[in-house]
Structure 1
């Protein structure tokens, strides 16, 4: 089983996703690569639980997807199965375009640099039906030494 399949199975089998981790349950991972830098591509069908008061994808949800995809570019597809604990130390997201319930979005995350203590990532979110950019973000994570 390749890294993409392993991640999809892990997401599907985890019944404990709660609170802000709930979107993991509906995330469909399409591709995970580790070379030359980490890369992840996923899809999400926007559901009511992902929306704001006007039934469009909530900006906080876009930020959460930048967080998730950024993390995955650093931790998935690596040779080792052990992932060091990490913490977000800086994240910014530009919310560019609305997405309605039922639309599918594509999330693409890339590792810009995976250093010994810090990881730097970039994430773009597109509407699947027209390829238009919905949100773009950068995420910096600190790795804890155990």
Structure 2
């Protein structure tokens, strides 16, 4: 599969799960895919008022959802796509993103075995590259 084919498939997956599906993932409808394929997925999000907590920064629950979703999309952007099931997910928060800022969510597969996949996600401020949060996600991918 070529890089452009992988990116087209990835964009279709994201569109279906965030815009066409009316479940929880609809909270990600404003996420834009920047690049992906080969076990990676890079997305952007303009932090809007609907994404903020009471302190005026990106809600921690949405940050965790971004780690979950974008790392899953990276796992699906492979020759053997599988969504898997979460076994463990952790997020370290370094700095908040304010309403109006653009963030980048960059996910990649660290290792994929027969039963488990290990993924890493960096969330940064697009303007200056400041690391805002870092997530680790383990998914069961075996049968």
CA distance in 2, matches of 1:50, 1:64: 11
Alignment-derived partner of residue 111 in structure 1: 109
Consecutive unaligned residues of structure 1, counting only runs of 5 or more, are: none
Structure-2-length-normalised TM-score: 0.87
Q: Is 2:15 aligned against 1:2?
A: no
Q: Is 2:9 aligned against 1:11?
A: no
Consecutive unaligned residues of structure 2, counting only runs of 5 or more, are: none
**C-alpha displacement of 1:53:** 1.0
For residues 92-136 of structure 1, what are the alpha-carbon distances to aligned partners after superposition, in whole Å with 9 as ceiling and x for unaligned? Answer: 100110111111100111101011110000100000111100000
Secondary structure class of the residue paired with 1:67: helix
**C-alpha displacement of 1:73:** 1.8
CA distance in 2, matches of 1:103, 1:84: 32
After superposition, where does 1:22-33 map in structure 2 within 5 Å? 22-33=26-37
Secondary structure class of the residue paired with 1:40: strand
Aligned residues: 138
